[in-house]
Amino acid sequence: MPYLFTSESVSEGHPDKVADQISDALIDNFLAYDLNSKVACETLVTTGQVVLAGEVKSEAYLDVQDIAREVIRKIGYTKSEYMFEANSCGIFSAIHEQSPDINQGVDRSKPEEQGAGDQGMMFGYATRETENYMPLALDLAHKLLIELANLRREGKEIGYLRPDAKSQVTIEYSDDNQPIRIDTIVISTQHDDFAKDQEMLDKIKADMINILIPRVKAKLKPELQALFNDKITYHINPTGKFVIGGPHGDTGLTGRKIIVDTYGGKGAHGGGAFSGKDPSKVDRSAAYATRHIAKNLVAAGVCDEVLVQVSYAIGVAKPCGVFVDTYGTAKVGLNDGEIARKVEEIFDLRPYAIEQRLKLRSPIYGETAAYGHMGRDNQVVTKVFNKGKKTEKQVEVELFTWEKLDYVEKVKSAFGI
């Protein structure tokens, strides 16, 4: 019997994502000036206020207020009527030195023996459903908000948009798990107060359906364009007007959008957030490593869909265990336990090995903090820190290394494909 599956996304202007982006900007700046920095920082944003808290061990000294303001400015909170504005918001820092009790479990005389920064279990997932091996509902939810942000910044076709927004996509699947059609699209976007309530709502709904949706659809492959139909149920700003938003409308906190950050409810999530953590924290690095494994397994033809779990004890390098679930889609004549053992042989899952393989001790995290950490484009870019100041520094980095299909041949060889 056909079934429905739903995923959501939030924009870069959503208060939780504002917090994530500030936390990851701090990570990037610490790593840009000291690659050995150990950082765990949280951000809270609310009406006219930003609170920074956390633990740091680093040789770098940062102007954390300036970094936070630059992030807020880049997102688009630049008007006083938003009640949260880059130049005027108060910023309080309660960042202090990392606990030596935690650090002693991580640092080792031999780098390769580096212990995990915390206990826990992390998951990676991949599916053939899309070109980037991501769940389709989440991929479309992200694309809607990325295009909405493009429209906001262009300010031509739609001039009333504000930074805060959410999306949700529900897809109908067939019995054999193939997407049939898009059933429902939900978009809630913050906006200027530009007319009477009903007039505003009618205008916003018309613009989302007649401007946003066609722009998103035009960038998709024909088979995905075919999922759009004239029976889609649209809920556009379903609660009514959405003028008050962002950190003024809701308090934002680092790490509250972990399902948006990963797979939209498909697969599983270990519970640990990513943003604000340096790569010694396996909540982040091992989640990237398991995504890398899952994507390469599917791309190599081992299976059509897979969930990979790894778990750690704090201060211990060797994982407690590796688990694989191919959802009955394996094509290699092995059960999931046997596949898991081969995964352990192919991929070194000690924290230091993950950092080295995926080039994680680089300032690459700001780009992950909105529109998902997975399914993104691997690319090399040059990033500039403290632009125009005496301490300006340019760093060439490789983004989203965990999205590379660089282990496909090794996987094929190991599985005899």
Can you say which residues are annotated as belonging to the binding site for K(+)? 42
| Overall size of the chain counted in residues | 417
Q: Which residues are annotated as a binding site for L-methionine?
A: 55, 98, 250, 281
User: Residues comprising the binding site for Mg(2+)?
Assistant: 16
Q: Which residue ranges make up the annotated binding site for ATP?
A: 14, 164-166, 241-242, 250, 256-257, 273, 277
CB 385, CB 28: distance < 8 Å: yes
3-state secondary structure the chain: CCEEEEEEEECCCCHHHHHHHHHHHHHHHHHHHCCCCEEEEEEEEECCEEEEEEEEECCCCCCHHHHHHHHHHHHCCCCHHHCCCCCCCEEEEEEEECCHHHHCCCCCCCHHHCCECCCEEEEEEEECCCCCCCCHHHHHHHHHHHHHHHHHHHCCCCCCEEEEEEEEEEEEECCCCCEEEEEEEEEEEEECCCCCHHHHHHHHHHHHHHHHHHHHHHCCCHHHHCCCCCCCEEEECCCCCCCCCHHHHCCEECCCCHHHHCCCCCCCCCCCCCCCECCCCHHHHHHHHHHHHHHHHHHHCCCCEEEEEEEECECCCCCCEEEEECCCCCCCCCCHHHHHHHHHHHCCCCHHHHHHHCCCCCCCCHHHCCCCCCCCCCEEEEEEECCCCCCCEEEEEEECHHHCCCCHHHHHHHHCC
Q: Which residues are annotated as a binding site?
A: 14, 16, 42, 55, 98, 164-166, 241-242, 250, 256-257, 273, 277, 281
In degrees to the nearest 10, what's the CA dihedral of 161, 162, 168, 169? 30
